[in-house]
Amino acid sequence: MAIIDIKTEITGNIWKIEAQPGQKLAEGDTIIMLESMKMEIPVCATEDGVLIEVLAEEGATVTEGTVVARIEG
């Protein structure tokens, strides 16, 4: 099984972590909600798998391309 890094597409703040390690995810499921410029932007699973790690905490600031989670697909 492959490990897939989930990266942010925009700079922002981690507003809410929606998924927990061990949770099964389908492609497109929201893992984290970012807040940027008063907008909520979802960070979603890029393929089906199991969330094995969340690398960010609520309230943290992240930049574009930051790895915030890992999925085992």
Percent of the chain surpassing pLDDT 90: 97
Residue 48, pLDDT score:
97
| Span 6-39, pLDDT tens digits | 999 999 999 999 999 999 999 999 999 999 999 9
HSE-CB of 65 using CA atoms within 13 angstroms: 0
**Are the beta carbons of 6 and 45 closer than 8 angstroms?**
yes
Domains located in the chain, CATH noted:
3-72 (2.40.50.100)
Residue 1, pLDDT score:
76
Which stretches of 3-60 are DSSP H helices?
A: none
CA 40, chain centre distance (Å): 13
* Bridge partners of residue 32, in order along the sequence: 17, 43
Q: Which two tokens stand for residue 72?
A: 């085992």
